[in-house]
Amino acid sequence: MKLIPLLILCCVGLSAQEAVGIEFEREAFADLLSEAKQADKLIFIDAYTTWCGPCKMMDAKVFPDPEVAEVFNERFINAKFDMEKGEGPSLASRYSVAAYPTYLFVDGDGELVHKAVGYIPKPALLELADVAVSDRSLGAMKKRYDGGDRTPEFVSEYARSLTTNYEQAQADRVIAEYLDGQSDWTMPENTRLILESPGSLGDKRMDFLIENAATVEEQHGDRVYGVIERALVNQYHQTNRKRSLVSADEIEPYFGEQAPELVDRLLPRYAMVYHQRQRDMTSYLATAADYYTRFPSDDYAELNTVAWNFFEHSDDPEQLDLAIDWAKRSVEIRPYYPNLDTLAWLYHKTGQMEKAKSTARLAIEYAKAESLDYSETEKILQ
């Protein structure tokens, strides 16, 4: 009998030691606002759903971290709301929550101060905590914009932050207001803003991109063609009430009508997407090999995606050599874990084992720096 109290104490002690992580309160939103105003702190809200995979990953891997907990518990009043239950739907509507998880930083008056979306590794989440209380927060930038700051660098930063956090309508308004005061849209700082907020087909900004695609490409690379292609495709499918992608042959006349000088560049881009959706990878690989040979890309993410597609679906030595070139170019532009992992696996698939291992080790270093799972990459080293 004397052992029972000891066991209880032992278990209590273990529970206390294990109870680490962000301390989330489960109060009504009105009570949180009162507490925030009294304490002069921001409320950090994890807006989640029960079915959201990234939400569960945050709960398992990031929120329990002691360093994360120390910062958030000291700096904020932390709360969780299921966006599909209780006060969740009204909060989702109030703060334009359109993806999960969304992180809201709200002041005691209920004003949105900052916002972020998606799975965020520990280093980025700690940086987010710093941004939320800085002059880089959405709230601070809004005050700066409303105060009259119209420098292109600031407008670009503000609009990009809005777009990243699913505030596209507000981002479009900010950029449109800025451009209305500009006499020369061909300036690089202005074309960059137009790319970030091009509008839809028929809008003044989209018409400008179609007419000046070559100029914009010289300034910012080939992403302009992807922006134009998506606008054309979206408008065609909406106008013709198409629920799925049509063939490249069907949409070609529409491309010719709307952007006749760009058809040779836009149509194969569309064809690649169509073939992928149809799971016709033979046609996709042939189209992609021809397109990226004729029109080399300088978009590191695009290059990484196409290189990985070739890794997964091609055994042709010539095609794999092309994929290696694309992956290497992606790494040259901006090395990060995904493209280094792609390059390592391409080396592995083509039997270049020393290169595969050295690239895999570098990929793992990048993954560790961002708290990413690199277990698959480790298999190359085994």
Domain parsing of the chain, residue ranges = 20-134, 296-382
Residue 77, classed as helix, strand or coil, is: strand
Query: What's the CATH superfamily of 296-382?
Result: Tetratricopeptide repeat domain (1.25.40.10)
Question: CB neighbours of 11 closer than 8 A, spacing ≥ 6?
Answer: none
**How confident is the model at residue 14, as a pLDDT?**
38
Please state, in angstroms and rounded to a whole number, the distance separating the CA atoms of residues 234 and 306.
22
Task: Give phi and psi for 277, each to the nearest 5.
Answer: -65, -35
Task: Give phi and psi for 113, each to the nearest 5.
Answer: -100, -40
**What 8-state DSSP symbol labels residue 262?**
G
**Long-range CB contacts (< 8 A, 24+ apart) of 53-58?**
54/100, 54/101, 54/118, 54/119, 55/100, 55/101, 57/119, 58/101, 58/119, 58/120
Report the DSSP beta bridge partners of residue 103. Answer: 46, 116
Q: Please count the other Cβ atoms lying within 10 Å of the Cβ belonging to residue 91.
A: 20
**How confident is the model at residue 200, as a pLDDT?**
87
* Best CA proximity match to 274, nearest among 315, 245, 232: 245
Structure tokens belonging to residue 86: 């209780």
Dihedral angle of Cα 98, 165, 179, 255, to the nearest 10 degrees: -60
Q: How far apart are the first and last CA of the chain?
A: 52
Q: Please count the other Cβ atoms lying within 10 Å of the Cβ belonging to residue 306.
A: 24
Set 47, 52, 231, 343: catalytic member: 52
- For 20-134, which CATH class? alpha beta
Residue 10 among the catalytic residues: no
**What 8-state DSSP symbol labels residue 139?**
H
Q: Please count the other Cβ atoms lying within 10 Å of the Cβ belonging to residue 139.
A: 18
pTM: 0.69
Q: Are strands 76-82 and 112-117 parallel, antiparallel or unpaired?
A: unpaired
Q: Which stretches of the chain drop beneath a pLDDT of 70?
A: 1-19
Q: Which amino acid is at 68?
A: V
Task: Give phi and psi for 259, each to the nearest 5.
Answer: -145, 65
Residue 11 among the catalytic residues: no
Same CATH topology for 20-134 and 296-382: the answer is no
Set 32, 36, 42, 55: catalytic member: 55
* Best CA proximity match to 131, nearest among 196, 335, 123, 83: 123
Q: Given strand 42-48, what is the order of strands in its sheet?
A: 24-25, 76-82, 42-48, 102-106, 112-117
Please state, in angstroms and rounded to a whole number, the distance separating the CA atoms of residues 216 and 188.
8
Please state, in angstroms and rounded to a whole number, the distance separating the CA atoms of residues 235 and 222.
21
Task: Give phi and psi for 52, each to the nearest 5.
Answer: -80, 115
